[in-house]
Chain A
Amino acid sequence: MEAPAVASPYSKDLLLTMYRKMYLIRRFEERAGQQYTLGKIAGFCHLYIGQEAVAVGPNEAIRPDDYMLSAYRDHGQPLARGSDAGMVMAELFGRGTGYSKGKGGSMHVFDIEHHFYGGYGIVGGQIPLAAGMAFASRYRNEDRVTVCYFGDAAANQGALHETFNMASKWKLPVIYICENNRYGMGTAIARTSAVPEIYKRASAYDMRGEPVDGMDVLTMYEAVKDAAAWCRAGKGPVLLEANTYRFRGHSMADPATYRSKSEVEEERKNDPIPKLRDYTLKQGLAVDADFERIDEEVKALVDAAVKFADESPEPSLEELWRDTIVEPGEEDVRPRERVLGVKVTNWPKYPTGQELKVTWDLEPRAQAELADKKAGLSH
Chain B
Amino acid sequence: MPELMYREALNQALAEEMERDANVYLIGEEVGRYNGAFKVSQGLLDRFGSARIIDAPISELGFGGLSVGAAMVGLRPVVEMMTWNFAILAMDQIVNNAAKLRHMSGGQLRCPIVFRGPGGAGGRLSSQHSQALEANYAHFPGLKVIAPATPADAKGMLKAAIRDDNPVIMFEGERLYALKGEVPEGEYVVPLGKADVKREGTDVTIITWSRMYYFCMQAAEELAKEGISAEVLDLRTLRPLDEEAILASVRKTNRVVIVEEGWALAGIGASVVDIIQSKAFDDLDAPVERVTGLDVNMSYAANLENATQPDAPKIIAAVKKALYRQGA
A residues at B contact (CB < 8 Å):
67, 98-104, 108, 110-112, 117-118, 120-122, 125, 127-137, 139-140, 158-159, 162-163, 165-166, 169, 322-326, 328, 330, 332-335, 348, 350-358, 360-365, 368
Contact = CB atoms under 8 A, between A and B. Distances in A.
Contacts of B105: 99-100, 104, 108, 110, 112, 118, 323
Contacts of A98: 106
A118 B109 CA distance: 10
A333 B51 contact: no
A361 B49 CA distance: 7
A349 B292 CA distance: 48
Given A326-B165, A358-B22, A358-B52, A117 B103 contact: no
B50 A363 contact: yes
A165 B62 CA distance: 9
Contacts of A158: 61
Decide if the interface of chain A is mainly helix, strand, loop or mixed: loop
B62 A358 contact: no
A125 B65 contact: yes
Interface residues of B, number: 52
Interface stretch (B69-77, B120-128, B169-177, B206-214): B69-77
Most interface-central of B52, B63, B142 (chain A CB within 10 A): B63
Contact of A103 (B68, B75, B92, B104): B104
B104 A136 contact: no
B78 to A, nearest CB: 13
16 contacts: A112-B105, A125-B93, A131-B65, A136-B75, A139-B75, A162-B59, A166-B57, A166-B63, A325-B141, A325-B144, A333-B108, A350-B73, A358-B22, A363-B54, A364-B50, A368-B33
Contacts of B92: 122, 125, 159
Given A100-B106, A103-B106, A163-B65, A324 B142 contact: yes
Contacts of A139: 25, 51, 70, 75
B24 A353 contact: yes
A136 B54 contact: no
B70 A135 contact: yes
B31 to A, nearest CB: 12
Contact of B51 (A127, A165, A362): A362
Contact of B59 (A67, A165, A323, A354): A165
A99 B104 CA distance: 10
B162 to A, nearest CB: 10
